[in-house]
Structure 1
Amino acid sequence: MNRLQFLQNLVNRNSAEKANVFFSGIVPYSGQWTVNEVTHLLKRTMFGAKKTDIDHFLGMSMSDAVDELLNTVSTPAPPLRDYGLITTEDGTYDDLGVLLGQTWVNDPNMASDPDARPAISISL
């Protein structure tokens, strides 16, 4: 038997089987909204269920709780340089790699303290 004939037999066999058609949809949960249900939901959508989280979600409807859990939170802005001169036991220097008010997250910081440059290079 060659490959084409083998695959053709699979297609013919699968097409002969009728698929069950379902006409039901997802019905929103209409049961009780108690500590048990809240705990069940939180254990499956978070890393466990703390008492504070359970109390928080008990204070809202089930629909609101699901919306809060599933809606994504926007990423906060990166932190900004809000410090002045840096003082160490070797002296005071300015962080030359990052301007005041700019973010330092993506800066490799190679232009700061000359004594710290080798240590910074090793850590990268």
Structure 2
Amino acid sequence: MTAMTSITRLFCIGSLLAAFSHNALAQDKQFGASIPKETQTVALSEVVKHPDLYKGKTLAVTGTLGDMCSDGDDFFFKDKFDLIEVVPPRGVTLPYKDMKGAKTRVYGKVMVRRGEVHIDAQGVAFE
């Protein structure tokens, strides 16, 4: 076996392992409560632009999973220009490192505190 053949085989094995681990992670796309099909879905930018329209409502908000907050419990949820804090479902640990940057739907109650939008999440789904 030549050195090039060995490198090619290692590359193929590595690619297969990466694909399997991604598929395993993709199976666990829902954390906390499932998002009911009839739930209103709104873009994060709309919630931030019009917080009074959504304050106190339970809905699904689309955006991207950001970093974990410094307190180690909450996480940042973002889109192109907006960034808010989300309290994850109680007792749920999200795979922040693996899913950072993933398109995400957060199902929960929209809260406005001191003029800032937050979501008290009941469920989180990665797309």
Could you say which TM-score interval applies, normalised by the shorter chain?
A: under 0.3
Structure with a larger share of its residues in strand: 2
Greater length-normalized contact order (CA 8 Å, ≥ 6 residues apart): 2
Bigger proportion of residues as helix: 1
TM-score, normalised with respect to structure 1: 0.24
Tell me the TM-score normalised to structure 2 length: 0.23
